[in-house]
Chain A
């Protein structure tokens, strides 16, 4: 969906990710998804009177890893209280970071070569979760509400981008890249469907070259698909408003995936007043330089570096979709190992990305051997895919040649194929004359007949080549 000529969308993303710590941010309750309601709670994360927070060192380490991976400056920081009343929040304030966050001023390079600035990536605690009972289950006509505090106090890092994103597709690429980094660094599992990565989008539009327009914050974007659709819808909505001479009202809007539109949430009459002040129950966080350096040194190879390495190995650009997907799915090491085992690059990349089911394991040697059979012409592409499927079913470590034989995929010798082609040509003299006369439309018929005669073992490209060769001879 494109905006009308002369308009552009400006977007910044706020991404909350739950850190994959063993315990919560300020207490020793387990940080677990899916437990019975209110079983992972204690006086601290329930905010009982008299309880006090103690900062989780592992959460600090993971937050610093995120900062380092996003090329941020990792700084001494302080926690602050963000005060507002909310039943999901046991203390009626959230311990967060405000004017002195742990990570500032970074950036994220996307596969297409664009760069999105990172304003900050700060630590804070998560809230609990309400559900509404009675009536239709909506809050408006429910008879009562229930709160589960298992999630209260789970460590979060909020990553705030600069408004550098100029399209829904770029927003998707940013979120996908960020998720890969979170997973690669072990900071978070990045699961949007479980809410461990939550994306809010600040969207505004402007006529090209003009100052920033009024923005709306879009919430409830629970998948990358919703993110793209939500931004596209919202940008179009704002352009329509402005073109009709109306104003965009600054507000929070909720994406409705079913209806495919955003809806007004809370109207911001004035700026929220959270009455931030330094959290007096915690001391300033001053990770020593040695710790920060150790975190930087221990960073794993990040997706951008992995794309570059894979791209070089297969002779493609790093932004190629196959390369991007291979890295997103963590198949790059596997493909490079297959190459080292002698597999041809493009075919290996293709089969790995397009034909290996998610989570399937295949040993490198049989995979490389299979690619060799296909490239050598012993198996057609269709046959190779079928062999791969059976290889995965059998646990991923079997001889692909043996599997091919078992499946009846005896390689057709070139001589045998030539003979069959000649037989088919001889059996259809009228069509052949037409083909020789330049009618390419009948070529498909000949290929089909050869395929039938070989019960699908023939390679379509090889058949076409033989047909062309014979036509050339006949015409000459």
Chain B
């Protein structure tokens, strides 16, 4: 049987289905279709079966295996799983097996979830199409000639293809929300610090957050409740209990003030996507919210600031892949410097190298103030402008991505056009605020469109309420927007 995570967990906990039976159906679907889509780097069939049997045994003994009892979950392959290869879709980590589980993995297991596999991503989460994987691209289940978005493309495709009702991704500049939008599923970037990063292989530490991908807003809320809350192993983890989202989910939006972000709805946004965004605003208004346009001027500089801060942090985070301790070591080097160079030249793909060079440059003596320092100032401005916007409204609305899913190879030759994919999502990362992408009908070619709802730090509950209203309105939409 398939269905939402909530439906599956309920069936399994009430004995109407077994976890093993649910798992086998999902594994069968993966076996049938993942050869084509390549959502997974590794399918963990045997460990998932063992976990399913434990859930069934617990149910048989009258115990409660947890809120995600027997629910298959796919994990982005930059989340550490004890004894299971964790590659970041990079040759430099091929074959590395972490000796520990990420905190989110431990929490999933405690909630009764079954990890079915590790999903493909842009190498070290650097990209917006999952084409930067060292192991080949993932394809969009809605149209395999198109990309699923990225970098959590494998996770979004896995959920969209029905391989698992839930997945975890990581979002540094939109890497959960943009693929969720392109694959027609729900994707959430929580408040920075709301979910522990312990065991998430870092891309840009001050921006990275782990978050849920699901087929419904309700499921996404459930998954966030399971993985959220303080973790002493992450110093940037907020001192907060797990969020309480689902008890407030159906409260509606009467009286809620919604701002449509001026700077993110005009130039650079495809007409079909812009139209769907306006319709989502109208739907919120129809449900009792007040909608107005709100300007957040500095978000237009977000992309530039992001492409200095994220590579700067990445250049430091990725230094450790040097061939000394684990992962790839290029053979034949005469001394340590040569070994470093040869290993990193062979192990990293072109986009990773590009960003390491960019970041190294941005932090260099003599350039620091002009690049990294300036970018941090922009970041401060964005936080300030968001604060001013949230003085007027409760949540902000924008498209998630500027276009629907594009063809494989369409943007690989031009990094700038690829980077533009994240123009709407990056500001939330820079501010540390939560944001959610909710599918809202289809656009050109009948492909999914996502709209983004942003909220102030720790206002996830309000954000999810608005998302639930948008999700409900999407069910009544006409199939496609006609585009001139």
A interface, CB within 8 angstroms of B: 43, 46-55, 81, 83, 85, 87, 90-93, 145, 147, 271, 273, 275-277, 280-283
Given contacts A93-B319, A273-B365, contact A50 B235 (CB under 8 A): no
Asked if residues B363 and A275 are in contact (CB atoms below 8 Å), the reply is yes
B320 proximal to A (CB < 8 A)? yes
Chain A contacts of B204 at CB under 8 A?
280
- Which segment, of B53-61, B93-101, B143-151, faces chain A? B93-101
B471 proximal to A (CB < 8 A)? no
B206 proximal to A (CB < 8 A)? yes
* Bound-complex Cα distance A282 to B206 (A): 10
Given contacts A49-B98, A54-B232, A283-B235, contact A277 B316 (CB under 8 A): yes
Give chain B's interface residue range (CB within 8 Å of chain A).
35 or more
B322 proximal to A (CB < 8 A)? yes
* Bound-complex Cα distance A52 to B245 (A): 28
Chain A contacts of B200 at CB under 8 A?
50
Asked if residues A83 and B197 are in contact (CB atoms below 8 Å), the reply is no
B interface, CB within 8 angstroms of A: 78-80, 86, 88, 93, 96, 98-100, 102, 197-202, 204-206, 232-236, 312-313, 315-316, 319-320, 322, 324-326, 336-337, 340, 360, 363-365, 368, 372
Using a Cβ cutoff of 8 Å, how many contacts connect chains A and B?
A: 98
CB proximity of A210 to chain B, nearest CB, Å: 29
Asked if residues B312 and A277 are in contact (CB atoms below 8 Å), the reply is yes
Chain A contacts of B98 at CB under 8 A?
43, 48-50
Asked if residues B320 and A47 are in contact (CB atoms below 8 Å), the reply is yes
**Which residue in A49, A81, A283 is a CB contact (below 8 Å) of B80?**
A49
In the complex formed, the residue of B with least CB distance to A275 is B363
Which among B197, B235, B236 has the highest number of chain A CB atoms within 10 Å? B235
- 3 A-B pairs with the lowest CB-CB distances in the bound complex, closest first: A92-B319, A280-B206, A275-B363
Complex A-B: 30 CB contacts under 8 Å: A48-B100, A49-B86, A50-B86, A50-B102, A50-B198, A50-B200, A50-B202, A51-B100, A52-B233, A52-B235, A54-B233, A83-B315, A83-B316, A85-B319, A87-B322, A87-B336, A91-B320, A92-B320, A145-B336, A275-B365, A277-B312, A277-B368, A280-B204, A280-B205, A280-B206, A280-B236, A281-B202, A281-B205, A282-B236, A283-B235
Chain B contacts of A273 at CB under 8 A?
364-365
* Bound-complex Cα distance A252 to B455 (A): 53
Asked if residues A50 and B199 are in contact (CB atoms below 8 Å), the reply is yes
Assuming A48-B99, A273-B365, what are 20 further A-B pairs, CB within 8 angstroms? A46-B325, A47-B325, A49-B86, A49-B93, A49-B201, A50-B199, A52-B234, A52-B235, A81-B316, A83-B319, A85-B319, A91-B320, A145-B336, A271-B365, A275-B365, A277-B316, A277-B372, A280-B205, A280-B313, A283-B235
* Bound-complex Cα distance A50 to B170 (A): 12
CB proximity of B462 to chain A, nearest CB, Å: 26
CB proximity of A282 to chain B, nearest CB, Å: 5
Asked if residues B235 and A53 are in contact (CB atoms below 8 Å), the reply is yes
Given contacts A43-B99, A92-B322, A147-B324, contact A55 B316 (CB under 8 A): no
CB proximity of A94 to chain B, nearest CB, Å: 11
**Which residue in B197, B325, B336 is a CB contact (below 8 Å) of A52?**
B197
Chain A contacts of B199 at CB under 8 A?
50-51
In the complex formed, the residue of B with least CB distance to A149 is B325
CB proximity of A91 to chain B, nearest CB, Å: 5
Asked if residues A275 and B100 are in contact (CB atoms below 8 Å), the reply is no
In the complex formed, the residue of A with least CB distance to B323 is A87
Which among B325, B340, B360 has the highest number of chain A CB atoms within 10 Å? B325
Given contacts A54-B233, A277-B312, contact A48 B326 (CB under 8 A): yes
Asked if residues B236 and A283 are in contact (CB atoms below 8 Å), the reply is yes
**Which residue in A43, A271, A276, A282 is a CB contact (below 8 Å) of B100?**
A43
In the complex formed, the residue of B with least CB distance to A55 is B235
Chain A contacts of B322 at CB under 8 A?
85, 87, 92
Chain A contacts of B319 at CB under 8 A?
83, 85, 91-93
Which among A53, A273, A283 has the highest number of chain B CB atoms within 10 Å? A273
Chain B contacts of A92 at CB under 8 A?
319-320, 322
* Bound-complex Cα distance A464 to B108 (A): 93
In the complex formed, the residue of B with least CB distance to A279 is B205
CB proximity of A366 to chain B, nearest CB, Å: 54
* Bound-complex Cα distance A47 to B316 (A): 12
CB proximity of A287 to chain B, nearest CB, Å: 15
